[in-house]
């Protein structure tokens, strides 16, 4: 079954909280429901108590899709991380989520305007074995807790490039699945079509994000920070004529692999420039049409 989700970062950014600071959670949820989304991911304006969160989402008939968890496995061992992640797993389980989104952020620079994208951290050859071992231990722990761990490759982190993701997949247990983010992949120089064809069987969560190539070229040529690129509008939604990504091959690969789960329209933009109601509506309409054209979403035949 395919379900369609969104993320509050279209309304209120998590990394630069000046973007959408005046937008209330109520407005975000009301518009997400009005657009027709089935669910929404966690955002910083949402309560973290399960009962309170359920009470906030229920009037808008939205499910909690999942929530990001910042791993710190370069700074602490797996046992310490298991203790730190416990409240997050409890929340996701209480809300009926299926996946837990993970990303290593101990030395990440995606939230730092002062550091250019070229200054992002990398793992040395000597760091990889211990990092993979700790990540495997966390994946096993999350699986035992009844959730599917999905790793989010992300700009400004140690898992950004195509080589990083290939090494991650080769170094970890199959129970650690991948969150494939088309926008972060494209911006990192990954061929989205080729990657999807090769690795979709390991993918368990999809963030469908588009990229404005003109802004991307300017950002990379001038070596902007990640947040500077976001503020300038490097990301947009499926269906935006300014976007460069062809989503059909990605969704076709998903259909061939029997993908079931969420398709999340996730595009962090300045809501004062790119109206969330307009753009998220555009994204959902285009994504649903493409998924149905390729046979991933059988909704019209149900």
Distance CA(261)–CA(3), nearest Å, equals: 6
Distance CA(154)–CA(160), nearest Å, equals: 5
User: What's the confidence (pLDDT) of residue 299?
Assistant: 78
pLDDT band for 301, please (50, 70, 90 cuts).
very low
Tell whether the model's pLDDT for residue 302 goes beyond 50: no
Q: What is the pLDDT of residues 50-86, one digit of tens each?
A: 999 999 999 999 999 999 999 999 999 999 999 999 9
Distance CA(15)–CA(11), nearest Å, equals: 12
Q: What is the pLDDT of residues 126-142, one digit of tens each?
A: 999 999 999 999 999 99
| DSSP codes joined into one string, 245-295 | ---HHHHHHHHHTT--EEEEE-----TTTS-HHHHHHHHHHHHHHHHHHTT
Tell whether the model's pLDDT for residue 233 goes beyond 70: yes
Query: Cα angle vertex 43, ends 40, 49, to 5°?
Result: 95
Which position has the token pair 């797993």?
89
What is the percentage of the chain residues whose pLDDT exceeds 90?
A: 98
Q: Beta partners for 294?
A: none
How distant is the alpha carbon of residue 59 from its chain centre?
25
pLDDT averaged over every residue in the chain:
97
- Classify 207 in phi/psi space as left (phi over 0), alpha (psi -120 to 50) or beta: beta
Q: How far is CA 72 from CA 84, 175, 189, 247, 275, in A?
A: 10, 20, 25, 32, 34
Distance CA(208)–CA(180), nearest Å, equals: 8
Domains of the chain in sequence order: 2-301 (3.20.20.150)
Relative to beta strand 63-64, strand 39-40 is parallel
Q: What is the mean pLDDT of residues 201-224?
A: 98
Q: What is the pLDDT of residues 20-55, one digit of tens each?
A: 999 999 999 999 999 999 999 999 999 999 999 999
pLDDT band for 298, please (50, 70, 90 cuts).
confident
């Amino acid at each position: 079954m395919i379900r369609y989700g969104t993320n509050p970062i279209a309304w209120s950014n998590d990394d630069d909280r000046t973007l959408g600071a005046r937008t209330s959670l109520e407005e975000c949820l009301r518009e997400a429901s009005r657009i027709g989304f089935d669910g929404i991911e966690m955002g910083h304006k949402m309560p973290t108590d399960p009962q309170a969160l359920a009470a906030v989402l229920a009037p808008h008939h939205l499910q909690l899709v999942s929530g990001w968890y910042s791993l710190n496995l370069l700074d602490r061992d797996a046992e310490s991380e298991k203790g730190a992640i416990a409240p997050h797993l409890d929340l996701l389980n209480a809300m009926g989520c299926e996946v837990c989104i993970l990303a290593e952020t101990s030395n990440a620079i995606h939230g730092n305007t002062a550091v250019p994208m070229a200054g992002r951290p990398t793992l040395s050859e000597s760091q990889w074995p211990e990092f993979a071992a700790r990540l495997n231990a966390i994946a096993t722990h999350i699986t035992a807790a009844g959730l599917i761990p999905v790793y989010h490759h992300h700009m400004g982190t140690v898992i950004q490039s195509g080589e990083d993701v290939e090494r991650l997949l080769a170094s970890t247990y199959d129970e650690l699945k991948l969150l494939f983010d088309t926008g972060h992949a494209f911006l990192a120089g990954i061929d989205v079509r080729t990657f999807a064809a090769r690795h979709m069987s390991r993918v368990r969560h999809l963030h469908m994000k588009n990229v404005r190539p003109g802004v991307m070229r300017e950002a990379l040529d001038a070596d902007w920070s990640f947040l500077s690129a976001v503020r300038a509008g490097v990301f947009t939604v499926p269906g935006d004529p300014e976007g460069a990504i062809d989503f059909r091959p990605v969704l076709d690969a998903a259909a061939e692999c029997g993908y079931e789960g969420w398709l999340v329209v996730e595009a962090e933009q300045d809501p004062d420039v790119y109206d969330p109601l307009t753009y998220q509506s555009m994204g959902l309409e285009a994504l649903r049409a493409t998924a149905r054209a390729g046979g991933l979403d059988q909704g019209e035949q149900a």
